[in-house]
Structure 1
Amino acid sequence: MTARYCSLARQSAPSFAAGLAAGRLHALVSGHRMWVNGTVLHYCFFDRDTDTSVIADPGTGRTRAVSWVGGKEQRDVVRGCFQEWGDLGAGVSFVEVDDRSEAELRIGFQTGDGSWSAVGRDALRIGLDERTMNFGWDLTAPGERATALHEIGHALGMLHEHQSPFAGIHFDDEAVYTDLAGPPNFWSRDKTWFNILRKLDAHEVNGSVWDPHSIMGYPFSAGLILEPEQFRAGLDPPGVLSAADKDFVRRWYPPDPVSEPRELVPFRSVPLRLAPGAQADFTVEPPETRTYTVGTFGDADTLVVLFEERDGRPRYLAGTDDGGTPHNATVRTRLVKGRRYIARIRLYSTWGSGETATMCW
């Protein structure tokens, strides 16, 4: 019996300026979907009668509404999986909220729509009334808890492990297309290619060594893999977080607390002395209510994210990166006197002098 598979939506590859140095390109490609360290990811479940998709019945052509609302047992499985990822103690944590406008991750349970998630910060491009994650089958069935762990891995920025160019997997392509075209997936050739046969860029993958035990890999039945020889009889990951999964998340989101944030005073620049992958945090307490810009200067690729502190927790407000362009990353938004904000700046890479600074103005 073929397993049910996660089906990521096809998205265009990130586009960067031509001629970037290899090290700079690697840093940009590997990090462009990842959250800044210290992010609190808020998630909510769709729970209204109006939370639906309208689909056409293939037999009659008539449209009908299909609910996104899941039962308590389903939601509890997902809650438990968020807690399992959170218990790793990495620099990203999860909090459930009721208000979808407060949630970066919005979860539906539309049966028949497959299980999928936006990858990392791609969730921020999706409208507040739309799902960033869906579960299309019963998560309480034996073995299906792994589906929830897998989709949360995508939300953290992880991609499919079996698509790693380091895996050395040689599929019987036509056997894979035939297998996935039938039940329970009924995939097109394009969806099968994108989610299984397509190899990721070496800069995108979760690690430099293939992990056949990763929660981000698929199980494959006998006859689909030609090489490595030991997997011709099938590949069946255990469906739990592997040691490499945990190491990857802790490496991208170090559990050690970031140093105490420095204050960013309007019109006073602060030098940034960061190694690639490192981060600096600043507090901003605006002296007046108006539109401010927070940004960087110098020869560096950076991610700048601004949070508003509410009830002692950072809530995502705005963010941008300079995406390998010669321009510096800036966030422009309205700040309110009497409120406290946190600016987090993560360095992808530097070039030229490498001298960088940040300022609020």
Structure 2
Amino acid sequence: MRLTCKICSPFVPGLTGDAAEGAGDEVAARERPDNVRVTPLRSSVPGRTRAAVERLKLWENGRTLKVKFLDGEPSVQARVQQIAREWESVANLKLEFVTSGAGDIRVSFAEKDFSWSTVGTDALTVGPSEATMNYGWLEPDTDLREYQRVVRHEFGHALGMIHEHQNPAAQGQIPWDKPKVYAYYAQQGWSKADVDFNIFQVYSEDSTNHTQFDPTSIMEYAIPDALTIGSYAVGWNTEFSQTDIAFMRRQYPSNAPALTELTVGGPRVAADLATAGEVDTFHFVVDQAATHILTTEGPTDTVLTLHGPDDPGTVVTWDDDRGRGLNARIVRKLRPGQYWLTVRHKVAAATGQYTVGVKKSR
């Protein structure tokens, strides 16, 4: 017997295996350089700083994503479109629903009993005629709350969000009764490996942005009390939580500037990390091989990461505080090509002003 309350499926076609994951990382880095982020970590060795590399799958901030229905009844399509557009008031993205041409997000209703979505830019790794999102049980007479629950959840995936119970901060927070969980999801056709991968396994610290564990998130599954040890349960979330809204506004801030050009040897550029978690991205071109000095200046504790050459997904090097005060400073011999700089605050929740510049070493 299948579960009465259905959930987001683990079966996403064409996105399994190390090769697919590597392709997804490459596509994400081309879409947005700050999908590859460096975060300084404390080290057990005095005087030595470690770092974690976060690999995200966010779309370019401010992007217009084309959404195309591959099939389905017009009345169902209309309800999905109306609810999906709610994300436009949360994230600095636009959803343009098209009936012809290519679609970045392609929606199908053909795979019955399964609803799923690719995560963020993984949609770009799927064949252009194949679905990147599926709604397997939405019908014209489906209750509105069910539409809201499922569509808000799947479009959360499409914009780069993961399941909340797989948030790194969820480790140890849910007292699962594992034998009962395996039996419960077996009713929906999941194998033990499916449950391990989609329920118990949390993402690593270096693979995703995350906040504290939020059981009220639209990205959280319902957790029946019968599947946990003691008394612990999470209901069916149908609304965006306040943490969902704050988190996605940090990932897609409405006041973020477009990619800013730097000129080697030119004037310094003033910038502002105005919201918690913000990352600023700059671009510059090196015309001849030489040692270059890249610095931030100002009162803000910055972390500077250099990407390139000609590949925004490649991290050349990074620095935390080798500059004046709390500023960053990178000295590196660079060959000709395009480079990108990303600047973030060392403290994720903090904000501040700074200037950034690039010059050749004398």
Asked if Structure 1 and Structure 2 have the same fold, meaning a TM-score greater than 0.5 normalized by the shorter chain, the answer is yes
Secondary structure at 2:195 match in 1: helix
Go from structure 1 to structure 2 and tell me whether the alpha carbon gap of 1:263 and 1:166 turns closer, same or farther (over 3 Å shift).
closer
Go from structure 1 to structure 2 and tell me whether the alpha carbon gap of 1:174 and 1:268 turns closer, same or farther (over 3 Å shift).
same
Go from structure 1 to structure 2 and tell me whether the alpha carbon gap of 1:97 and 1:196 turns closer, same or farther (over 3 Å shift).
same
- Aligned counterpart for 2:8 among listed residues 6, 10, 14: 6
Partners of 1:20 and 1:195 lie apart in 2 by 26
- Please list the CA deviations of residues 202-254 of structure 1 after superposition, one character each: whole Å capped at 9, or x if unmatched: 3445533111111100012232122xx441xx321331111111111101111
- Give the corresponding residue for 1:56: none
What aligned pairs does 1:218-297 form with structure 2 within 5 A after superposition?
218-226=221-229, 229-231=230-232, 234-256=233-255, 258=257, 277-280=278-281
- Aligned counterpart for 1:175 among listed residues 173, 176, 180: 180
Partners of 1:350 and 1:302 lie apart in 2 by 17
AA aligned opposite 2:104: E
- Give the corresponding residue for 2:73: 71
Partners of 2:74 and 2:344 lie apart in 1 by 45
Partners of 2:235 and 2:183 lie apart in 1 by 19
- Give the corresponding residue for 1:136: 136
Secondary structure at 1:199 match in 2: coil
What is the CA distance between 1:98 and its match in structure 2? Answer: 2.2
Partners of 2:268 and 2:104 lie apart in 1 by 31
What aligned pairs does 1:127-166 form with structure 2 within 5 A after superposition?
127-138=127-138, 141-142=142-143, 143-145=145-147, 146-166=149-169
AA aligned opposite 1:198: Q
- Give the corresponding residue for 2:107: 107
What is the CA distance between 1:87 and its match in structure 2? Answer: 2.3
Structure 2: runs of 5+ lacking an equivalent? 27-35, 43-49, 284-292, 295-303, 318-331, 347-354
Aligned length: 282
Go from structure 1 to structure 2 and tell me whether the alpha carbon gap of 1:258 and 1:178 turns closer, same or farther (over 3 Å shift).
same
AA aligned opposite 2:312: D
Identity %: 27
Go from structure 1 to structure 2 and tell me whether the alpha carbon gap of 1:215 and 1:206 turns closer, same or farther (over 3 Å shift).
farther
Partners of 1:163 and 1:254 lie apart in 2 by 24
- Alignment RMSD: 4.2
For normalisation by structure 2, the TM-score amounts to 0.64
Partners of 2:161 and 2:8 lie apart in 1 by 13
Q: Is the contact between residue 280 and residue 344 of structure 2 (CA under 8 Å) also seen in structure 1?
A: no
For normalisation by structure 1, the TM-score amounts to 0.64
Partners of 1:270 and 1:3 lie apart in 2 by 59
Go from structure 1 to structure 2 and tell me whether the alpha carbon gap of 1:127 and 1:357 turns closer, same or farther (over 3 Å shift).
farther
Go from structure 1 to structure 2 and tell me whether the alpha carbon gap of 1:347 and 1:78 turns closer, same or farther (over 3 Å shift).
farther
- Give the corresponding residue for 1:38: 62
Structure 1: runs of 5+ lacking an equivalent? 47-68, 283-296, 305-318, 333-342
Partners of 1:135 and 1:201 lie apart in 2 by 28
